[in-house]
């Protein structure tokens, strides 16, 4: 394990829980892994993927996320590939041929692709040693990022009863964890939960009055630092990115309304430090492995604590200090309430209202922010305040 870890990933030791999880997977057990951003989740299936005889299939929700992971693995000498709608037919044929020849160790696919009958038939002809379901909270209706296509993964155990499944997520309440295990039929598997306390991050909530001038003041003091600024709407992203460019900042927009080429180019410029600031909707960030993000600013109120925690977790992945600032206004709460009222499903409405109330309570509370965040995920913070 250690020699493979060092050869392909350059590490000489494991982060907390990684070694136990890898041993479990190598022993054929199912596992549910809850580990905050930067905790080393990917290694928990990538290392077993190299050590096991056959193929490891990784379920991933985003094409950009697959590309990042596969590019990084190939750079490290790991035979990895992905199959998704962005591939040209010739490239798809090449990957399938490589799979048939046993030349791929890790294959990344979207849930829709994985559950296609033809694709399942292909996998049944191959030797699949492990399924890794990344961003597993997407399978739960109680989670912050529910995706109906993930529900179809419930039949994985029926199609591959002897193949272990590892489900991984950075954010999940106790209810969501139970739902993940039930949906994937891995209720009997082991559960691992790392601490949610990112001690190097500072959490602040500020009134939204004069937010733009306060933002400029902050950026002026951190002009050389990399940071992410989250906004609720595409229009707000474009306007803020433009304004910051006029102020002389290397700021780029990122949202689903841009072309895939423009999104990819902006993301890669940010990762390469060709731009210090990315202004984005929540479409940005899942799986982005940029260690030196020094701040994450929420210019608008997030809809729930889970997505807020996941987004703030993109700061300080190198272990150095990171700041998480949220500009709060009751007007933003009213705006989100308006959109919740448009939901036709009463259960969805009720869940969204509950999540929003928890987010507002976090913003308006007078106790330690860290204590509130950790308590939300069922973890106790024994200090009265972190300072």
Asked if residue 76 is part of any domain, the answer here is: yes
**Within this chain, do residues 130 and 242 fall inside the same structural domain, yes or no?**
no
Asked if residue 383 is part of any domain, the answer here is: no
Q: How many residues does the chain have?
A: 387
Which residues fall within 8 angstroms of residue 16, CB to CB, at 6 or more apart? 39, 194, 195
User: Please, what is the average pLDDT of the chain?
Assistant: 91
DSSP-derived pairing of the beta strands 128-133 and 55-59: parallel
The SS3 assignment for 67 reads helix
Q: Both tokens of residue 368? A: 């330690």
pLDDT score for 221: 96
Residues forming a β-bridge with 82: 108
Q: Which of 193, 228, 260 is a domain's end point?
A: 193
pLDDT score for 190: 93
pLDDT surpassing 70 at residue 287: no
pLDDT surpassing 90 at residue 123: yes
Q: What are the pLDDT digits (tens) for 161-194?
A: 999 999 999 877 888 899 999 999 999 999 999 8
Q: Both tokens of residue 357? A: 């109330």
pLDDT score for 316: 93
**Within this chain, do residues 185 and 205 fall inside the same structural domain, yes or no?**
no
Asked if residue 387 is part of any domain, the answer here is: no
Lowest mean pLDDT among 117-131, 202-216, 242-256, 276-290: 276-290
pLDDT score for 347: 87
Q: In total, how many domains does the chain have?
A: 2
Asked if residue 112 is part of any domain, the answer here is: yes
Lowest mean pLDDT among 55-69, 125-139, 216-230, 336-350: 55-69
Q: What are the pLDDT digits (tens) for 314-355?
A: 999 888 999 999 999 999 999 999 999 999 989 889 989 999
Count Cα atoms within 13 angstroms, Cβ side, for 228.
32
Asked if residue 381 is part of any domain, the answer here is: no
pLDDT surpassing 90 at residue 299: yes
Q: What are the pLDDT digits (tens) for 60-109?
A: 887 777 887 898 899 999 999 999 887 888 998 999 999 999 999 999 99
Q: Which of 174, 193, 212 is a domain's end point?
A: 193
Q: What is the mean pLDDT of residues 218-241?
A: 96
Higher-confidence residue of 87 and 289: namely 87
**Within this chain, do residues 189 and 205 fall inside the same structural domain, yes or no?**
no
Type and span of the H or E element at 57: strand 55-59
Q: How far is CA 14 from the centre of its chain?
A: 21
Helices (H) and strands (E) in the chain, counts: 16, 13
**Within this chain, do residues 29 and 89 fall inside the same structural domain, yes or no?**
yes
**Within this chain, do residues 183 and 226 fall inside the same structural domain, yes or no?**
no
pLDDT surpassing 90 at residue 20: yes
**Within this chain, do residues 7 and 60 fall inside the same structural domain, yes or no?**
yes
CATH number at residue 292: 3.40.50.300
pLDDT surpassing 70 at residue 1: yes
Count Cα atoms within 13 angstroms, Cβ side, for 43.
26
Q: Give the Cα separation of 125 and 148 in Å (integer).
A: 27
pLDDT score for 219: 97
| Helical residues (DSSP H) of the chain, grouped into ranges | 2-9, 18-26, 43-51, 63-75, 89-100, 111-114, 117-125, 156-159, 174-183, 211-221, 234-246, 260-271, 305-312, 330-341, 346-364, 369-376
Model confidence at 286, pLDDT cuts 50, 70, 90, reads low
**Within this chain, do residues 222 and 322 fall inside the same structural domain, yes or no?**
yes
In angstroms, what CA-CA distances link 47 with 1, 78, 104, 214? Answer: 8, 10, 14, 45
**Within this chain, do residues 208 and 331 fall inside the same structural domain, yes or no?**
yes
**Within this chain, do residues 240 and 350 fall inside the same structural domain, yes or no?**
yes
Range of the domain at 155: 2-193
Asked if residue 386 is part of any domain, the answer here is: no
Asked if residue 384 is part of any domain, the answer here is: no
Asked if residue 160 is part of any domain, the answer here is: yes
**Within this chain, do residues 151 and 168 fall inside the same structural domain, yes or no?**
yes
**Within this chain, do residues 184 and 209 fall inside the same structural domain, yes or no?**
no
Q: Which of 170, 193, 216 is a domain's end point?
A: 193
**Within this chain, do residues 162 and 283 fall inside the same structural domain, yes or no?**
no
Model confidence at 144, pLDDT cuts 50, 70, 90, reads low
**Residue percentage of the chain with pLDDT more than 70:** 99
């Amino acid at each position: 394990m250690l020699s493979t870890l060092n050869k392909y990933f350059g590490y000489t030791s494991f982060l907390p829980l990684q070694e136990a999880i890898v041993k479990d997977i190598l022993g054929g057990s199912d596992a549910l892994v809850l580990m905050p951003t930067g905790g080393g989740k990917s290694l928990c299936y990538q290392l077993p993927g190299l050590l096991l005889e056959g193929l490891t299939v990784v379920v991933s929700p985003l094409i950009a996320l697959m590309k990042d992971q596969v590019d990084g693995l190939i750079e490290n000498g790991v035979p990895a590939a992905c199959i998704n709608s962005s591939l040209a037919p010739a490239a798809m044929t090449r990957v399938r041929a490589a799979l048939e020849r046993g030349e791929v160790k890790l294959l990344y696919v979207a849930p829709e692709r994985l559950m296609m009958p033809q694709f399942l038939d292909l996998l049944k002809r191959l030797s699949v040693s492990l399924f890794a379901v990344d961003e597993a909270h997407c399978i739960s209706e109680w989670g912050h990022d529910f995706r109906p296509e993930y529900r179809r993964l419930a039949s994985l155990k029926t199609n591959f009863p002897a193949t272990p499944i590892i489900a991984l997520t950075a954010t999940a309440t106790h209810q969501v964890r139970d739902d993940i295990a039930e949906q994937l039929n891995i209720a009997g598997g082991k559960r691992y939960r790392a601490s949610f306390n990112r001690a190097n991050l500072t959490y602040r909530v500020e009134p939204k009055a004069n937010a733009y001038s306060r933002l400029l003041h902050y950026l002026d003091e951190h002009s050389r630092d990399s940071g992410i600024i989250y906004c609720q709407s595409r229009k707000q992203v474009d306007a803020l990115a433009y304004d910051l460019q006029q102020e002389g900042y290397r700021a780029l927009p990122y949202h689903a309304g841009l072309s895939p080429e423009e999104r990819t180019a902006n993301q890669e410029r940010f990762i390469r430090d060709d731009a210090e600031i990315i202004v984005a909707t929540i479409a940005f960030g899942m799986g982005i492995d940029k260690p030196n993000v020094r701040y994450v600013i929420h210019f608008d109120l997030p809809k729930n604590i889970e997505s807020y925690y996941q987004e703030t977790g993109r700061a300080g992945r190198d272990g150095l200090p990171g700041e998480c600032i949220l500009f709060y206004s009751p007007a933003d709460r009213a705006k989100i309430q308006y959109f919740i009222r448009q939901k036709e499903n009463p259960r969805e409405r009720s869940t969204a209202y509950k999540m929003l109330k928890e987010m507002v309570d976090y913003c308006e509370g007078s106790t330690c922010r860290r204590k509130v965040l950790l308590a939300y995920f069922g973890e106790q913070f024994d200090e009265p305040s972190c300072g």
